[in-house]
Amino acid sequence: MIVDSAVYRHGARVPVDCHRHDYAALRSAASEQHDFVWVGLYEPSHMELADIAEAFDLHPLAVEDAVVAHQRPKLEQYEGSLFMAIKTLWYVDEDDAVETGEINMFIGDDFVITVRHGRGSQLKDARAALEQQQKVLDHGPSAVVYAVCDTVVDSYLEVVDELQTDVDEVETSVFSPRRTDDSTRIYTLKREIAEVRRAVLPLREPIRRFSGGSVPGIEAESAPFFRDVGDHLAQAAEIVDTLDVLLSTAFEAHLARISVQQNEDMRKISAAIGLAAVPTLIAGVYGMNFEHMPELHWLMGYPFALVLMIGSCAVLFWFFKRSGWL
């Protein structure tokens, strides 16, 4: 359940003489001013999270959201703490699928608790990188919130880059001279883009509030860091909107190409029917068995009928070829 837990003082990790599951002792170890605790959890049960909630005085509604997960990205303020939910994304190229996870954060004056669901956006590397930046980590819990948001938003950019590659492939396929069936893949990509949109767009409001330095519990001095995250988030949102428009255009072009191909097929079928109908008509006239018929005893009647059939077909073929029907 616990991925890592540590006490930080003056931008550095300090050793503590207590068990990692002894949350009350862990919080007590952050005894000096500006000390804080960062506890990282992975898919804890309700009972496991209840112990942490008791040690850190977490609001029960926020705890319930963190256990159930599947929350919309949001930022909520409770007495003495903040609760933030963020969607994580990763891309499965074999299925053209965007998978989602979630990170929930409890933020207090002397603690940050991150609860991760799903395998996306692991925070181990983010913690290690942050521990190498003492000046940033010296901002306390605000630095952890920034590091988590920055890691998640960077993963958004990676996902939209993968989607952009797939959209480019769809465009190439739609406008290629060969016949392709791209409607299924276009629908799949539009559905995955909608999944990305549900993660990206709601997150803009919390990041905007952090950037403005108007959130209690988040240091105003950290606002420039969140503005950088906001820029990346806006970039991801713009790319998502562009890809959605491109896919809609590609789908319309795909339908137009199908219509054109069907028209071409109908012209070819009509031309083939015309080529078969004329000799059939001639053969039908010459095949009548009436007693009094012109040319009935004509020696050249049969060769003339064949020449007339071949000549008529040749003229029709030339006409259809010139008209682009064949």
Residue-wise pLDDT for 114-140, tens only, equals: 999 887 667 888 888 888 888 888 888
What are the C-alpha distances in Å from 310 to residues 128, 274, 316, 322, 325? 84, 13, 10, 18, 19
| Portion of the chain with pLDDT greater than 90, in percent | 26
Residue 21 pLDDT exceeds 70: no
The answer to whether the beta carbons of residues 108 and 80 sit under 8 Å apart is: yes
The answer to whether the beta carbons of residues 239 and 156 sit under 8 Å apart is: no
d(CA 271, CA 97): 45
Amino acid (one-letter) located at 244: D
Give the least confident one: 25-29, 153-157, 222-226, 316-320.
Answer: 316-320
